[in-house]
Amino acid sequence: MRTGAHQDPVRDWLVLILLSTIVLAGIIVWNVWAFDTVASGGIIGNSTIGTSAVPGRFSLDAIRTIFANRAAEEAKYVTGAYRYTDPSQ
């Protein structure tokens, strides 16, 4: 003997399909709105504060230091300061 509420699989599937359709419609509406906003030159989310397009002296010095360090590491590989065993051989 079965106890509990009457189960109707057709009703469950209809509810699932209805919820899926509502979610899909929401996604489509969101994407159309986002596309229209961006296509018309708008911004989605918070606008960023404009910064100077020209990097400062400190930034340029930091970049030069990074490239100098990378060049020094590359020289260590080329001159043989770093030795490693190739496991494929």
- As a whole number of angstroms, the distance between CA 83 and CA 89 comes to 15
- Domains of the chain by residue range: 11-40
Q: What is the pLDDT of residue 12?
A: 92
User: In a structure prediction context, what are the per-residue pLDDT tens digits for the chain, which is 89 residues long?
Assistant: 455 567 889 999 999 999 999 999 999 999 999 999 999 988 888 876 666 667 778 888 999 999 999 999 999 888 888 877 878 87
Listed in sequence order, the residues at least 6 apart from 55 whose beta carbon sits closer than 8 Å to its beta carbon are 63
**Predicted TM-score (pTM) above 0.85:** no
